[in-house]
Amino acid sequence: MLDKSHKHVSCQHCAVRKDSLFASFCEDHVNELNEQKSCAFYKKNQGLFLDGSFPRGVFCINKGKVKVFTRGEEGKEQIIQIAGEGEIIGFRSMFSGEPYKVSATALEECNICFIAKEDFLNMIDTNTSFRNGIMRELSKELSERAIFITNMAQKSVRERLACVLLILDDVYKEEEINLTREDLANYVGTATETLIRLLKDFKEEGLVEIHTRKLDIINKDGLIKLAGN
Amino acid sequence: MLDKSHKHVSCQHCAVRKDSLFASFCEDHVNELNEQKSCAFYKKNQGLFLDGSFPRGVFCINKGKVKVFTRGEEGKEQIIQIAGEGEIIGFRSMFSGEPYKVSATALEECNICFIAKEDFLNMIDTNTSFRNGIMRELSKELSERAIFITNMAQKSVRERLACVLLILDDVYKEEEINLTREDLANYVGTATETLIRLLKDFKEEGLVEIHTRKLDIINKDGLIKLAGN
DNA sequence: CTTTTAACATGATTGAAGTCATTTTTTTAA
DNA sequence: TTAAAAAAATGACTTCAATCATGTTAAAAG
């Protein structure tokens, strides 16, 4: 599954390390990390890991976007998170000893590094500030998910779409949001048809611009007002 | 807010410690814990902590049940978790440096111990197995919340009620489930009227027994089948 | 370049669940 | 014990969003 044909991206020169939990690593630790990690190219729609399998390490995104999702009863995806450059994926399952409860798939062509479980856990045990960073991240995501649950329970689909677009605006930064309508719907938690209709409304209300499948937010304040948190 | 009038429950003789993350503590650590913690009695509906305030330590439930919830836009509660004997509450916020994103309130008369942030973080730093326990707990809750989000997005209210009743069956163990219809509705993520109607259906279908406000599950398999996960 | 497939879009219809109004029951407090 | 307040219950009505059916456009594949 891993394709090592592409060139190795060194941690020393990694442009996105500053945005990651490895930002505070000293030179020695960066060198060590670079020795331990492997580097792989992922095609669009290629899976990183699958719900039910046992985690063997963590993934660090150097380039590209990854969707993290669960599957409901009838196999319908629910996207939990879109992860971008600098983000570490799959470390939650590293501590529980249980198999993955979520799956992760590359949304576009990606460069993704892999750190074996053993090496990662060793970092956690020996590097206090890294460990604290991981724990901070775990806590932050926990409260984000509490808010996600509340939004799902109490907000209309329209409001939730606004919320999701604002989250995606942060993930995609200067880039245009680039997701299929189906993925968007599976993030908002609605039917694809409903999402398409709402997106059209948003366009007519001057909130977003639609360039075939890419989206541009042109009235962020309007979305914030609509989202209501 | 804390009422120390009630008798101090010692960690050495705490009946629920075996069900908690402190189960693996050696005698010395238990003695130390007992020195550090304070012990308080909470009346029904008394708050443990409030969304927006800064955490000063963690709470460990010795007796009673506690609801953990967020508030949506119009102040409507969304219950995230019902915590019972042996559970530690509020440790997520201990690592982030941010104020609480959730609130916690006693659902009945409770005995709850308090461990100051400093002492708790010291335990995390020095006691590896306790730290691993906490990290395991954080990860477990993270995946539980991913499933909660998916249920909210994809299941009907009827299915979600079945899910929630099964969760509550675990929390209340041999006791009868004892929540107001409003709290139940705020856990399931529905209107109180809808919840009442569904509960009546469940009763007529022989799934639960209703004793005024206390609920007994009399057909767990039926609920599991209905819940569908 | 053409064919096939996947993604996107739109209309019509239905139903689950929300809201509002009111009554009954239970609990709490005076 | 009674009065007041809170919780539970029921009915009528409405609406948001799902589903189904079908058409159109865009993207891959041959």
Does B129 touch chain A if contact means CB atoms closer than 8 Å? no
Residue pLDDT, tens place only, B106-142: 999 999 999 999 999 999 999 999 999 999 999 999 9
CA B73 vs CA A83, A127, A141, A150, A220: distances in Å: 27, 40, 20, 10, 19
DSSP letters for chain A: ---TTSPPPPGGG-TTGGGSTTTT--HHHHHHHHHH-EEEEE-TT-EEE-TTSPP-EEEEEEES-EEEEEE-TTS-EEEEEEE-TT-EES-THHHH-SPPSSEEEESSSEEEEEEEHHHHHHHHHH-HHHHHHHHHHHHHHHHHHHHHHHHHHHS-HHHHHHHHHHHHHHHHTTSPEE--HHHHHHHHTS-HHHHHHHHHHHHHTTSEEEETTEEEES-HHHHHHHHT-
Q: How far is B78 from chain A (nearest CA, A)?
A: 6
77-116 in chain A: CB under 8 A from chain B:
78, 80, 92-98, 101-102
pLDDT at A5: 46
pLDDT at A6: 54
CA B1 – CA A138 distance, rounded (Å) = 30
Residue pLDDT, tens place only, B12-56: 999 999 999 999 999 999 999 999 999 999 999 999 999 999 999
Chain A residues within 8 A of B142 when measuring between CB atoms: 92, 138, 141-142, 145
Q: In percent, how much of chain A has pLDDT > 70?
A: 97
Say whether B155 sits in a helix, a strand or coil.
coil
Chain B residues within 8 A of A229 when measuring between CB atoms: 73
Is A145–B149 a contact, with Cβ atoms under 8 angstroms apart? yes
pLDDT at A7: 64
- pLDDT band at B7, cuts 50/70/90? low
Residue pLDDT, tens place only, A187-211: 999 999 999 999 999 999 999 999 9
Query: Which structural domains are found in chain A, ordered by start?
Result: 4-144 (2.60.120.10), 155-227 (1.10.10.10)
Q: What is the pTM of this model?
A: 0.96
